[in-house]
Each structure stands twice: as structure tokens, then as C-alpha cells.
Structure 1
């Protein structure tokens, strides 16, 4: 393993991921489920995505951009609808206490977190950056370690922030805001799809 490549991957991926949709997805998941299973699910999803990016290298760029952005738009639209509906049902039930996060099993919360992040990360800038680094340095293990470490730092921050928000704000409000963010990401991805098709 070459530590300069690990550092290069970490330094490149961390700032790309900080304002990213996956940060917000992790944050929202942490308002719904206990922090540890969310972190385990998200971290595992990131690990698999980084492994795929490193293994595939530049193959991802061969997929039609319109296909990738179209699927991402659809996923975020579905996520927005689910979040909005769950916020509405929570408000109708008189709101949910922060303790409602504890009612989901560890495995289920981790699996849901894994699925959401695994799907959201496809075609993401950090995935493309990781693939590019793997192709450039021909050091797959070093790139994997650096990129995954950066993603774990970001997801850890998001999970901690999500737990703090869930302890202080009504879950319905957090989910409505998250639904709005997901809708914005869906619209942006749809615009990118149209641009790729024209």
C-alpha cells in the first residue's frame, strides 16, 4: 500500500462528498433509525461501492450518462414520496418521539441504510473520482482505503448530526425537509438526463 495514494484518495473524495446527496441521505436515515445500524449499513454500502469503482475503473464512464442520471432521478423521486408520506402519517399520529428510532431491529435498519446508500451512490462524483484514481495510480488497495476512509468520515458526521436533529426536532418536520431535498436532487438528475439525451 502506498500512503501518498491513500492520502490523495482521501483528500479528493472527502470534500466531494461533504455537500453531497449521500450525506443528506445518511442524515435522514439517522433520524429514523438508531445511529449504529445506520453507520454499519452506510459504511458497508460505501465499502462495496468503492470496491466496485476501484474494480471497474473507468468502465462506469462507458454507461450512457442518460441511463445513470435517469435512474438516479427516479430513485430520489421515490425517496421524496416515501419521506413525505411518512412525515404526513407521523403528523397525523400526533408526531413520533425520537425513541421511535429504537423500534426497528439492528439488521433491518442496517439493511435499509445499505440499500438507500448503495442505490444513491451510483454515478456519484466520489465513485467517478475513485474510478479515475484507480485507473491513474494502478494502486487499487491504496485508492480503496483512502476513498472508503473519507466516506466513513462523512457518514459518521451525518449520522451524529442526524441523531442530534432527531433528538431536538419533530421527526415529521425533518422528513418533510428531507423530502424537499430529495425532490430537488430528483429534479437536478432529471435535468441532467435531458441534457445527456440532447
Structure 2
């Protein structure tokens, strides 16, 4: 249960203002079909985050040492610092005219844009931390949906009213707190 809840909270906060959330807004504006877009986000996230959690769990199993646990803790702190840098969707990453409809365009675009994104890196770290692929995948997917479904329905109006700087700071503090907690746990202080 800890893996599910932690994964949900970490990714939901990290996703706010992220380039995939901006992509969700662009797709919603372009297609004006929220259900296929939401289904596409869900399908892409399940596939991408399952693979990321699997990589994290497998790497952790191979490198299960005290230094690896410190590296995982440090990766959460680094993710917190990275979260302070807001994402922008580059023009070359904006969705091109679609040939495949809202669902397939969204699924492909989200899967590709999520590659190497901070939420995917966080999913790898969470998989390594918890050694639990399915709960981490479920949690990170739920976090993505909590952040992106409102973006699809409310689009730009939400982004204009949410103080993203504050949200980024809260998300950064959460990542850093988890990293420090993991380091303290590894050191035997907790």
C-alpha cells in the first residue's frame, strides 16, 4: 500500500506543469474529444510506467547494496531539484496533424514524450525503492491521471489559475523529503 500511495503522490505533484500535462491541454484543444484523449493517456502511461517500474525493480535487485540505496535516495533529491525547473512543450514536440484519431494520436504522443521525462525517471526510482512493479505502476498511473484528466477537461483555464511555482516547490519538497527519508533509513537513523 505504501508503494501505491507514495507513487501516486509523487507523480501527481511532479506532473503538474510538466510537458505531458501541456500536451494533454494541446490535444484537448485540438480534438475536443476528452474520453479518447483520457483513454490514450491511460494506455500510454500504463505501458511506459510498467516498463519503467520493471527496470527499476530489476536494477535494484541486481545492485542491492547500501551504496545503491544511497543512490536511490540521491535520485529523489535530484528529482526534487529537477522539479523546480518548469517544463515547456517545444514547438517541435507539439502534436502534428493527426492521421489516427484522438486515442491513437494521444497514446503515441504521450508514450514518446514521457520517455526520459521526470515522471518516468521517478517511476524507475520508485520501482527500485519498493521492488513492487504493479503497485508502483498503478500508483504512478493514478498520479498521471489525477494530474491530466482535469487538464483535459478544463484545459488552459486550470493552468492559468494554478500557481505553478508553488506547486513545483511543493513537489520538489516532497521528492527531497523522500530522498532524505530514504537516506536516513539506509543509515539506520529510522
How do residues 26-45 of structure 1 correspond to structure 2 at under 5 angstroms? 26-33=24-31, 34-45=33-44
Q: Which runs of 5+ in 1 are unaligned?
A: 60-74, 87-103, 166-198
Higher helix share goes to which structure?
1
Q: CA deviation at 1:47?
A: 1.1
Q: Deviations over 1:146-187 (max 9, x none)?
A: 11100111120110113979xxxxxxxxxxxxxxxxxxxxxx
> Which structure 1 residue ranges, 4+ long, deviate > 2 Å from structure 2?
75-82, 162-165
Equivalence for 1:64: none
Match of 1:123, SS state, is: coil
Q: CA deviation at 1:20?
A: 0.3
Q: Distance in 2 between matches of 1:24 and 1:80?
A: 9
The structure with more radius of gyration = 1
Give yes or no for the alignment of 1:79 onto 2:93. Answer: yes
How do residues 1-198 of structure 1 correspond to structure 2 at under 5 angstroms? 3-33=1-31, 34-57=33-56, 76-80=90-94, 82=96, 108-162=101-155
The alignment's TM-score, normalised by the length of structure 2, stands at: 0.60
The alignment's TM-score, normalised by the length of structure 1, stands at: 0.58
Q: Which runs of 5+ in 2 are unaligned?
A: 60-88, 159-190
CA-atom RMSD in angstroms: 2.6
Bigger shift: residues 50-59 or 116-125: 50-59
Q: CA deviation at 1:81?
A: 8.9
Report how many residues are paired: 127
